[in-house]
Chains A and B, each alone.
Chain A
Amino acid sequence: MSEKVTLTIDGREIRAAAGGKLLWAALDNGIYIPNLCAVRERVRPAASCRLCFVEVEGSAAPVTACTQPVKDGLVVRTRSERVDRLVRSAFELLLSDHRLQCRECPANRSCGLQKIARERGLKLRLTRLKPLPKEAAIDESAAAFSFDRSRCVLCGRCIWVDREVAKVGAIGFTRRGLERTVTTFEDETLAESICNECGLCVHACPVGALYFKQPE
């Protein structure tokens, strides 16, 4: 284990392993920082959801906690006007591309987006932006679970477990920009693809994009 150091988050002194990432040090100590794409085991964080901004003393601008290495004497604030503004914007951007029908969603009450809204007092509806049209292309071909891309927030956690834990390689990111999609080779259904339906990706999904047909 690497050496333990002391850092301060929101005025609280905590001990954490040097070189680890700030996000995990905070979460392990019960200090919440919003996140969707973070995977603890990942050596190089994706840093793609842009929700975990914090203020670090000495940095001119907010930094993402998932990429910030833990150092001795680090002084961190999880909230500031700038941080709140960035988190609010990133959150609303994600909502604008997410089919917002919480009551019909299998992830209702366990959803990562709902958690962020609750913790940060954010609205679960669009205030400034218009919803982007989403086609509901639900893949129900797998026996135990379904994949609703209109709810996907592109965090990439399903792909990570598919590759690193299940070691299958059935799904991946394809396309670019707004068209970026989690899908299979040539957009086959999961049943047609090499997916072995282990279901690990369903557990990894922070929202209701991948969900079991029968609640567990």
Chain B
Amino acid sequence: MTAAAIEAQYAGLQKQAVAKTAVQKSKPLVRVGTATCGVAAGAIPVKEAFEKEIGSRGLDARVVEAGCMGHCYAEPLVVIDKPGFAPLCYGSVDGDLARRLVADFLAGDDPCYEFALAALEPNDVFPTFSEFPRGVCEEKIILERCGFIDPEAIDDYIARDGYAALAKALALPPEEVLAEIKAANLRGRGGAGFPAGVKWEAARGAGDGVKYVICNADEGDPGAFMDRSILESDPHQVIEGMIICAYCVGAAEGWLYIRAEYPRAVERIHTAIRQAREKGLLGQSILGSGFAFDLRVFQGSGAFVCGEETALVSSMEGKMGMPQTRPPFMAQSGFRGRPTVLNNVKTFSYVPHIVSRGADWFKGTGTPGTPGTAVFSLVGKVSHTGLVEVPMGTTLRRLIFDVGEGIPGGKKFKAAQIGGPSGGCLPEAALDVPIDFDSLRQAGAIMGSGGLVVLDEDDCMVAVARFFLEFTRHESCGKCTFCRLGTKHMLDILTEITGGRGNPASLEVLRELAEDVQAGSLCNLGRTAPNPILTTLRYFRDEYDAHIFEGRCPALMCKELIAYYILPKKCSKLCDACVGSCPVEAIFTRADGLKEIDQQKCVKCDNCRKACPPEHDAVVKLSPPSLLSGKEGVPK
């Protein structure tokens, strides 16, 4: 098959797809973001409201599901694309707004700009996302289509040049495609940053027998959902990247290893695979090239350690997900003992873009050491949470304060937790660290797979460290001594400290253990598990000391070190919001009509403080609880 014939076959597919989408474009189109987070925010009833209202008015408009647009703070998100208008995105849509948009915009001609978030295409009337402060910092490569195509319609993808990179690759010798990936210095986005091209080359060189390509979508970091969003929003991009990889290394079979906790992603990938087969983009002789490759899905059963590649392969082989020693490396002996390439969802997602636009284009973004972009799920105490994509080398400060628009409620920034349980907590002083694999490692954190949780003054850093150790203790596979027992002892020491029972000597033991678990563990889960401890000890030692020496939690977070108190001066006789809010009936009305907390009964759930109306603001937290003594109404 000649290169020209492959290109011609692709051109045919694209022509069909363009024609199909063009017909659809002549009608108004409503896209409802129904990735998991959209659904959680109520996207399904919104979609139904649109359908019902459109139906009852007899309008000729289509309602489709789309993926994640990245602006999670404003879910549910809806895009209305009506001929004659720039496509407009609306945030925080509910049933009422849906009906109003149908009545005013679809039936009438009023786009209801007062509810619009942004336009998706430049126009004279309304600003686009790229004019947002965030849009200026962002550079979207692999998130570009997310939310703006129907993930369950392959034609949407093909009409936007999807699978063009595959056609281009198949028309070239595999060595040449591989050389381009190598030249682009695409580093694995799963966390470690190992160059993908080097992995692929090793697998390519490992003989002519059966080989496998595996996509690691076992995203397990608490606080990270990039991979889920990409699978749910643009599944074909991942599939295309995997096919190109398979072509480079000479594999005929590929697997997507997806967490069972991501049912929507699993469903959409299955649909995408089926559609790709129907178009001849998977299966025998892809695009008539003679190259055969097909994909299967393996659902991970829920074990964080399976994100580690040897553990992932063990679980695919029907065993407990336990890491193995290396060598042999995956490229020599992986799944079923055969040469295997294993990359993350995001890594594969970059591949079609690099093939289409070339290594030099890719290296034009990011830093010399780490070209390209970084994708983060930006969550926690930040105004504009969401899925963001910025060039490598962007500083954390820019990411948090420009893209995320800072800390809500006028609170003070405290730390950026980056890289999940394997990562670390970086303080204000480290915010000018450029985001790339090497700089973050120097600062004590890791890039990880891209979870970024912003913490403010109300978050206790010892409690954060304890949270992650609780996680790694629970998720440790238990195979090796350091991880199984080291995480347990470190957790116990942290529990003592957050419970006000810590002592200075145990802090030394904690540091020694952390260093030894880092040096001695079998796999990267264990080796990186101490990072949250080591970074908080390095940057937030004063908080450890306050817990140990003063019995005080400076962030007023650790339950055993705080007490709730109602200020009599501020409390009102006329209000009993707190009494009703208390789940354990710990708040009572005193003889004088003011409210008081029975300290014996209080479970410190914070509900009363939330319930107290802002005009009173009478409920306060104190730490240490000994501050209560001497207060009015508190027995000595």
A–B contact via C-beta, under 8 angstroms? yes
Q: Encode contact with B along A46-61: 1 for CB under 8 Å, 0 otherwise.
A: 1111110100000001
Which residues of chain B have a CB within 8 Å of any CB of chain A?
Answer: 303, 320, 324-325, 473-482, 484-489, 492, 509, 512-513, 516, 519-522
CB distance from B235 to the nearest CB of A (A): 31
Contact A44 B477, CB 8 Å, known A89-B516, A129-B509, A180-B484: no
CB distance from B524 to the nearest CB of A (A): 14
Contact A62 B320, CB 8 Å, known A45-B325, A176-B478: no
Q: Is the CB of A44 within 8 A of B324?
A: yes
**A174 nearest CB neighbor, chain B only:** B320
Complex alpha-carbon distance, A61 and B513, angstroms:
17
Q: Is the CB of B475 within 8 A of A86?
A: no
The stretch of A91-99, A140-148, A162-170 that contacts the partner chain: A91-99
Interface of A is mostly: loop
Known: A48-B480, A178-B473. 16 other contacts (CB 8 A): A47-B522, A48-B522, A49-B481, A50-B482, A86-B516, A89-B482, A89-B520, A90-B481, A90-B482, A96-B489, A128-B512, A130-B492, A132-B488, A176-B478, A177-B474, A177-B477
Which residues of chain A have a CB within 8 Å of any CB of chain B?
Answer: 44-51, 53, 61-62, 64, 67, 82, 85-86, 89-90, 93-94, 96-97, 128-130, 132, 154, 173, 175-180
Q: CB within 8 A of B520: which of A50, A67, A130, A175?
A: A50
Q: In the assembled complex, which residues on chain A have CB atoms less than 8 Å from the CB atom of B513? A: 89
CB distance from B453 to the nearest CB of A (A): 23
Q: Is the CB of A177 within 8 A of B482?
A: no
Complex alpha-carbon distance, A180 and B487, angstroms:
14
Complex alpha-carbon distance, A94 and B485, angstroms:
8
Q: Is the CB of A93 within 8 A of B482?
A: yes
Complex alpha-carbon distance, A50 and B481, angstroms:
6
Complex alpha-carbon distance, A150 and B575, angstroms:
57
Q: In the assembled complex, which residues on chain B have CB atoms less than 8 Å from the CB atom of A132? A: 485, 488
Q: CB within 8 A of B481: which of A85, A94, A129?
A: A94
Q: In the assembled complex, which residues on chain A have CB atoms less than 8 Å from the CB atom of B488? A: 132, 178
Complex alpha-carbon distance, A49 and B478, angstroms:
11
Interface centre among B481, B492, B519 (most CB of A within 10 A): B481
Query: What are 19 A-B contacts with C-beta separation under 8 Å?
Result: A48-B479, A50-B481, A50-B522, A64-B325, A89-B513, A90-B481, A90-B482, A90-B516, A93-B481, A94-B481, A128-B509, A128-B512, A130-B489, A130-B492, A132-B488, A177-B484, A180-B478, A180-B479, A180-B484
Q: Is the CB of A93 within 8 A of B486?
A: yes
Complex alpha-carbon distance, A47 and B489, angstroms:
21
Complex alpha-carbon distance, A48 and B325, angstroms:
9
Q: In the assembled complex, which residues on chain B have CB atoms less than 8 Å from the CB atom of A173? A: 320
Q: In the assembled complex, which residues on chain A have CB atoms less than 8 Å from the CB atom of B303? A: 176
CB distance from B525 to the nearest CB of A (A): 11
Q: In the assembled complex, which residues on chain A have CB atoms less than 8 Å from the CB atom of B474? A: 177
Q: CB within 8 A of A93: which of B473, B476, B489, B519?
A: B489
Q: In the assembled complex, which residues on chain B have CB atoms less than 8 Å from the CB atom of A51? A: 481
Q: Is the CB of B325 within 8 A of A175?
A: no
Complex alpha-carbon distance, A178 and B481, angstroms:
10
Complex alpha-carbon distance, A62 and B481, angstroms:
16
Q: In the assembled complex, which residues on chain A have CB atoms less than 8 Å from the CB atom of B480? A: 47-50
Complex alpha-carbon distance, A89 and B477, angstroms:
19
Q: Is the CB of A47 within 8 A of B325?
A: yes
Q: CB within 8 A of A61: which of B473, B487, B492, B519?
A: B519
Q: In the assembled complex, which residues on chain A have CB atoms less than 8 Å from the CB atom of B485? A: 93-94, 96-97, 132, 178
Q: In the assembled complex, which residues on chain B have CB atoms less than 8 Å from the CB atom of A176? A: 303, 320, 475-478
CB distance from B200 to the nearest CB of A (A): 24
Q: In the assembled complex, which residues on chain B have CB atoms less than 8 Å from the CB atom of A86? A: 516, 519-520
**B328 nearest CB neighbor, chain A only:** A44
Q: Is the CB of A46 within 8 A of B479?
A: yes
Complex alpha-carbon distance, A50 and B516, angstroms:
11
**B491 nearest CB neighbor, chain A only:** A178
Complex alpha-carbon distance, A47 and B483, angstroms:
13
**A46 nearest CB neighbor, chain B only:** B479
**A49 nearest CB neighbor, chain B only:** B481
**B475 nearest CB neighbor, chain A only:** A177
Q: In the assembled complex, which residues on chain B have CB atoms less than 8 Å from the CB atom of A85? A: 516
Q: In the assembled complex, which residues on chain A have CB atoms less than 8 Å from the CB atom of B476? A: 176-178
Q: Is the CB of B478 within 8 A of A129?
A: no
Q: In the assembled complex, which residues on chain A have CB atoms less than 8 Å from the CB atom of B492? A: 130
Q: In the assembled complex, which residues on chain A have CB atoms less than 8 Å from the CB atom of B484? A: 154, 177-178, 180
Closest 10 CB pairs of A and B: A180-B478, A93-B485, A89-B516, A177-B476, A177-B478, A47-B325, A50-B481, A67-B325, A128-B509, A48-B480
Complex alpha-carbon distance, A60 and B484, angstroms:
25
Complex alpha-carbon distance, A23 and B476, angstroms:
26
Q: In the assembled complex, which residues on chain B have CB atoms less than 8 Å from the CB atom of A90? A: 481-482, 516, 520
Q: CB within 8 A of B478: which of A44, A93, A154?
A: A154
Complex alpha-carbon distance, A82 and B520, angstroms:
10
Q: In the assembled complex, which residues on chain B have CB atoms less than 8 Å from the CB atom of A175? A: 478
Complex alpha-carbon distance, A178 and B485, angstroms:
7
CB distance from B255 to the nearest CB of A (A): 22
Complex alpha-carbon distance, A44 and B310, angstroms:
13
**B322 nearest CB neighbor, chain A only:** A173
Q: In the assembled complex, which residues on chain A have CB atoms less than 8 Å from the CB atom of B478? A: 154, 175-180
Q: Is the CB of A50 within 8 A of B521?
A: yes
Complex alpha-carbon distance, A97 and B489, angstroms:
10
Q: CB within 8 A of A89: which of B324, B325, B487, B512?
A: B512
Q: In the assembled complex, which residues on chain A have CB atoms less than 8 Å from the CB atom of B482? A: 50, 89-90, 93
Contact A62 B522, CB 8 Å, known A89-B512, A130-B492, A177-B478: no
Q: In the assembled complex, which residues on chain A have CB atoms less than 8 Å from the CB atom of B320? A: 173, 176
**A89 nearest CB neighbor, chain B only:** B516
Complex alpha-carbon distance, A86 and B478, angstroms:
18
Q: In the assembled complex, which residues on chain B have CB atoms less than 8 Å from the CB atom of A47? A: 325, 480, 522
Complex alpha-carbon distance, A179 and B478, angstroms:
8
Complex alpha-carbon distance, A50 and B519, angstroms:
10
Complex alpha-carbon distance, A7 and B521, angstroms:
26
CB distance from A175 to the nearest CB of B (A): 7
Q: Is the CB of A44 within 8 A of B522?
A: no
Complex alpha-carbon distance, A87 and B158, angstroms:
58
Complex alpha-carbon distance, A132 and B473, angstroms:
14
Q: In the assembled complex, which residues on chain B have CB atoms less than 8 Å from the CB atom of A177? A: 473-478, 484, 487
Complex alpha-carbon distance, A168 and B477, angstroms:
25
CB distance from A32 to the nearest CB of B (A): 19
Q: In the assembled complex, which residues on chain A have CB atoms less than 8 Å from the CB atom of B325? A: 44-45, 47, 64, 67
Complex alpha-carbon distance, A57 and B52, angstroms:
73
Complex alpha-carbon distance, A97 and B478, angstroms:
13
Interface centre among B509, B512, B522 (most CB of A within 10 A): B522
CB distance from B497 to the nearest CB of A (A): 14
CB distance from B299 to the nearest CB of A (A): 18
**A61 nearest CB neighbor, chain B only:** B519
Q: In the assembled complex, which residues on chain B have CB atoms less than 8 Å from the CB atom of A45? A: 325
